[in-house]
Amino acid sequence: MSVLYTFPGQGAQRAGMLHKLPDHPEVRRTIAETESALGQDPLQLDSAAAFGSSFAVQICLLLAGVAMARVLAAHGARPDMVAGLSIGAYPAAVVAGALDYTDAVRLVALRGRMMDERYPHGYGMAAIVGLDRGLLERLIAQVHSRTMPVYLANLNAARQFVIAGIDEALEAVIGIALARGATKAERLAVTVPSHCELFADAATAMREAFSSVTLGRPCIIYLSSSAARALSDPIRIADDLASNLATQVHWYDTTRLAWERGARLAVEMPSGTVLTKLTVPVFIGGRAISCEESDMDTVLALMSRECRR
């Protein structure tokens, strides 16, 4: 049986998340490497005020994910496969051994800043729960237009989706969805319209940035949540990372793939528990936990038991 590490995306951030990481040499090393690559102290980026910027959020999620994985590795615990949602794909690629951490910091900084610059205000994302995909797509089509863009962005569960677009269009879809039987429809803590064609030009710029970076073959299984498949070719992984800000997320299919490939324990890296809640229904007979809600000894014990099976 296998252990899957999951890495959350934007919206899972929590103020003070970097300051809540374990007091461990690997955390301090990751913070120092991040500061060297950025030219600024990352510990100044995890405040509620700073989180108005995608740049700050994404750097914090990258740092937290890699740091926690390094702490676990220092205790002899390593995953068999990794998967990340959106920005979470970057720490996943680092932990898989496909992407150098310093390169990841620079690329994520560029990614976050471009996203902030292109849509500084007036756009975002919303979660819709309780409708099937076909109905939600029809509701989106009723609202979408050139001046009111809105898209299906994330397919997180059988009846849980995320839409992205301009504020007015998001609110319109939320209203219609609730009227048509959605059990929940609310805005997310995301200030940009990720995973849709609104970021097509940014994806092109990211592909250009990746052209100067050398990736390697992953040493463990790297699951792409954009393609919902395992990738091992460094060129394909680079394109997957560069393009994912403008590509739909297929998280439900990705967790099903992990299960089919033998994963029975999913461990979510900081921050939050979003991916754990999405993974539990798929890992029937297995287990999904988050580092934020489980103490270190529990995580290590569960990983050790899984590896002995």
113-164 pLDDT, tens digit per residue, is: 999 999 999 999 999 999 999 999 999 999 999 999 999 999 999 999 999 9
Strands 81-84 and 221-224, by their bridges, are parallel
- What the block records as the tokens of 125 is 């994302």
Say whether 195 is catalytic. Answer: yes
**Annotated catalytic residue: which of 195, 225, 243, 290?**
195
Q: Pick the last residue of a domain from 168, 190, 212.
A: 190
The DSSP string of the chain is -EEEEEE--TT---TTTTTTS-S-HHHHHHHHHHHHHHTS-GGGS-STTGGGSHHHHHHHHHHHHHHHHHHHHHTT---SEEEESGGGHHHHHHHTTSS-HHHHHHHHHHHHHHHHHH-SSSEEEEEEESS-HHHHHHHHHHH--SSS-EEEEEEEETTEEEEEEEHHHHHHHHHHHHHTT-SEEEE-S--S--SSGGGHHHHHHHHHHHTT------SSEEEETTTTEEE--HHHHHHHHHHGGGS-B-HHHHHHHHHHTTEEEEEEPSS-SHHHHHHTTTSTTSEEEETTTS-HHHHHHHHHHHHH-
User: Would you put residue 195 in left (φ > 0), alpha (ψ -120 to 50) or beta?
Assistant: left
Longest Cα–Cα distance of the chain, Å, equals: 56
Do 59 and 75 have their domain in common? yes
Do 203 and 236 have their domain in common? yes
Do 217 and 71 have their domain in common? yes
Do 213 and 102 have their domain in common? yes
- What the block records as the tokens of 195 is 């995973």
Instruction: Work out the number of other CB atoms within 10 angstroms of the CB of residue 53.
Output: 18
Say whether 19 is catalytic. Answer: no
Query: Which residues lie below 8 Å from residue 174, measured CB to CB, with a gap of 6+?
Result: 126, 128, 185, 186, 187
Mean pLDDT, residues 106-110: 98
Do 162 and 291 have their domain in common? no
Mean pLDDT, residues 252-269: 97
Q: How far apart are CA 63 and CA 44, in angstroms?
A: 13
Under the banding of pLDDT at 50, 70 and 90, the label for residue 302 is very high
Question: Is 206's pLDDT higher than 70?
Answer: yes
Q: How high is the pLDDT of residue 153?
A: 98
The percentage of the chain sitting over the pLDDT mark of 90, rounded to a whole number, equals 97
- What the block records as the tokens of 228 is 């919902």
Do 132 and 20 have their domain in common? no
Under the banding of pLDDT at 50, 70 and 90, the label for residue 66 is very high
Q: Do residues 26 and 19 make contact, with C-beta atoms less than 8 angstroms apart?
A: no
Q: How far apart are CA 13 and CA 91, in angstroms?
A: 15
Question: Is 90's pLDDT higher than 70?
Answer: yes
Do 178 and 217 have their domain in common? no
Question: Is 1's pLDDT higher than 80?
Answer: no
Do 25 and 105 have their domain in common? yes
Q: Pick the last residue of a domain from 138, 172, 190.
A: 190
Structural domains in the chain (count): 2
Range of the domain at 130: 123-190
Region of poorest pLDDT, from 184-188, 269-273, 305-309? 305-309
| Dihedral sign, Cα of residue 21, residue 72, residue 80, residue 259 | negative
Q: How far apart are CA 53 and CA 99, in angstroms?
A: 24
Question: Is 266's pLDDT higher than 70?
Answer: yes
Q: How high is the pLDDT of residue 56?
A: 97
pTM, two decimals, is 0.96
pLDDT single digits (tens) 165-177: 999 999 999 999 9
- What the block records as the tokens of 304 is 């050790």
Q: How high is the pLDDT of residue 307?
A: 75
Amino acid present at 274 = V
Q: How high is the pLDDT of residue 308?
A: 65
Q: How high is the pLDDT of residue 221?
A: 98
Do 69 and 156 have their domain in common? no
Do 111 and 219 have their domain in common? yes
Q: How high is the pLDDT of residue 306?
A: 85
Q: How high is the pLDDT of residue 309?
A: 65
Q: Pick the last residue of a domain from 134, 169, 190.
A: 190
Q: How far apart are CA 88 and CA 113, in angstroms?
A: 16
**Annotated catalytic residue: which of 2, 53, 54, 86?**
86
